[in-house]
Amino acid sequence: MFNPLIVCADGFSLSVIAPDPAEELLLPAEELKVGFPSGRPEPWSRWRHHLDTAAPEHAHPTQSTCPAAPVALVRDLIEAHGGELLPRLPRQCP
């Protein structure tokens, strides 16, 4: 399974997986699986409720996943870190 890494303008990164559209009846995703952020997601008071409940209590947020984070919360996190850096494609010679 491909696990895309989103890198933000300030260097913050996280992996995000959307549900399979076939399983969601082709509706837009309402929740995303977020994993292994490079720092603690803020505001922590909103994120801690979405952590994987199977993770040990002492696990640091950078070593765990959020199996069902609301899309709006993920968008807010990315925007708070300056937005997503899009990969630069190499220039091709004509």
Model pLDDT for residues 24-81, shown as the tens digit of each residue = 566 677 888 998 899 999 888 888 888 877 766 656 778 888 888 999 999 999 999 9
The C-alpha atoms of residue 85 and residue 10 are separated, in whole angstroms, by 9
pLDDT of residue 1: 44
Look at residue 61 and tell me if it is in a domain. yes
Three-class SS state of 50:
helix
Look at residue 16 and tell me if it is in a domain. yes
Look at residue 68 and tell me if it is in a domain. yes
Domain with 34, as residue range(s), is 5-80
Look at residue 26 and tell me if it is in a domain. yes
Which range among 13-22, 64-73, 84-93 shows the weakest confidence by mean pLDDT? 84-93
Which uninterrupted H or E stretch holds 79?
Answer: helix 71-80
pLDDT of residue 77: 95
pLDDT of residue 90: 55
- The number of domains in the chain is 1
